Amino acid sequence: MAHPSHDETDTATSCGDGRTSSSKAPSLAGDPFRRCPDGGVDAWLTVLGAFLALFCTFGQLNAFGTFQTWYAEHQLHDLPPSTISWIGSLQLWIFFFSGGFIGRWFDAYGPRIIMIPGTLILVFSIMMTSLATQYYQYILAQGIAFGLGVGMIFYPSLSAISTYFSRYRGTALGVAFTGSGVGGMVYPIMFKQLFDKVGFAWAVRISGFISLACCIVAVCTVTTSQPPVRREGPLLDSSHFRDVPFVLVISGSVFVCLGLFIPFFYIADYAQDHGLSANTAFYIISALNGGGIIGRLAPPLVSDVVGRFNVITPCAFLLGMSALVFWIFAKTLVSILLFAILYGFLSGAFIAMLIPCVAQISEGEKLKEIGTRIGMLYSIVSFAALAGGPAAGAILKANNGSYHGMIILCGVANLVGSLFMLWARFRLDSRLLTRV
């Protein structure tokens, strides 16, 4: 069901950057979001800040496969892969779960008051990781603290963009999400080069300085167009669960996130087990995230024309099929690279489209709680993200090193998630060819 965009109206109001916006409904002229719904200097500065924020946070998080392989060969070589993967899984869980709290704080206080301490926590966690030598230290610094820092930068940045854009929300969020794809491609190559040249500790510290610079710019540029909205009551407001499309999107996201991150953890190990060198394996992680750059940009652009749910649903379905049909038969360098690029594209598309879909079903008064709704979704799916990596590692161990069971888990979870997304799409509009 196509929602009428706020820019399709005609009463002139100021946008703060010299432009005017129009509205047929004068009663909406006082609403800050309605006043300038699709652009302006502040809006695009927010996109820029979010791009840099996601580059050094979610992009770095997506590069955990680099650490998974390095730890297995160096600091944590005496631990099985499933145990090491708990570090990355805790990153994801803390990052996702923190969304419920951070989203509500965003609605109440805006982005900056959250992003400043988030920057300090993020940089502190990276510096502590550079000093760690024991497993529990990596869990505390790189797992828990880093995941929290990522969440405190990620959620305010993207929630702020949603307040500035309506019709072109997919495009704006897609541009911002491209930052995580660029980071996911750059960090594995950077880490591999620096690990060999300056050692593990200084390689990680250099990434900390890069993160500090990016986050300072993000803190200065990310703003919101809506006033603070402070609400009493429980963190998880049950009224949101009476919104059936929202519940279906959450359900689909739970299944997708159970399987989505498995290749990010294990593709490097998979490549090495099929005869590729450790150096080549690191570059495959970059190829995986490189595909995500296009996936985070092109599908959101298309979704502004054909509909957000019309894009996210087939992307989730093809995500599962790519694992079951392609990954399971990828044995050579070329086939593994092709799978990595394809899976990166589709996973990037799903990640980038999720928030525009939540925003689409949160129009009107619900938009004033956009941070809360986005945070609720990520808090709930955090448990699936936490379970995915260790479950895949446990299956790998139980199958005596065979990757087939892990790949099946990845594919089937994504396919089931796509069915819930399809259900949500038809719940919004049962007509097959409608823009939804």
* Beta bridge pairs of residue 21: 13
Please tell me the predicted confidence (pLDDT) of residue 265. 84
**Strands, DSSP E only, in 89-157?**
none
Angle between helix axes 41-56 and 146-164 (nearest 10 degrees) is 160
- The H-assigned helical ranges of 199-277 are 200-221, 244-260, 262-273
- Residue range 399-425, pLDDT digits in tens: 998 999 999 999 999 999 999 999 999
- Count the neighbouring beta carbons within 10 Å of the beta carbon of residue 242: 9
- Residue range 162-179, pLDDT digits in tens: 889 888 888 898 999 899
Distance of CA 61 to the CA centre of its chain: 9
Which residues are CB-neighbours of 163 under 8 A, at least 6 positions away? 32, 33, 224, 225, 226, 367, 370
- Judged against a pLDDT cut of 90, whether residue 96 lies above it is answered with no
Q: Among 284, 244, 248, which Cα is nearest to 267's?
A: 284
Please tell me the predicted confidence (pLDDT) of residue 319. 96
- Judged against a pLDDT cut of 60, whether residue 261 lies above it is answered with yes
Please tell me the predicted confidence (pLDDT) of residue 14. 36
- Residue range 319-337, pLDDT digits in tens: 999 999 999 999 999 999 9
137 vs 1, higher pLDDT: 137
Please tell me the predicted confidence (pLDDT) of residue 365. 62
- Residue range 264-273, pLDDT digits in tens: 888 988 998 9
Domains and CATH numbers, the chain: 35-428 (1.20.1250.20)
Please tell me the predicted confidence (pLDDT) of residue 25. 35
Res. 233 pLDDT band, cuts 50 70 90: low
Please tell me the predicted confidence (pLDDT) of residue 254. 95
- Residue range 42-92, pLDDT digits in tens: 999 999 999 999 999 999 988 888 898 899 889 999 998 878 988 988 998
- Residue range 19-39, pLDDT digits in tens: 333 333 333 334 444 444 577
Q: What is the mean pLDDT of residues 242-261?
A: 93
Q: What is the mean pLDDT of residues 326-352?
A: 93
Please tell me the predicted confidence (pLDDT) of residue 253. 96
Residue 81 DSSP class: H
Please tell me the predicted confidence (pLDDT) of residue 202. 96
Please tell me the predicted confidence (pLDDT) of residue 367. 67
Whole-number average pLDDT of the chain: 86
Please tell me the predicted confidence (pLDDT) of residue 184. 87
- Judged against a pLDDT cut of 50, whether residue 190 lies above it is answered with yes
Please tell me the predicted confidence (pLDDT) of residue 121. 97
Residue 400 DSSP class: T
37 vs 286, higher pLDDT: 286
Please tell me the predicted confidence (pLDDT) of residue 24. 39
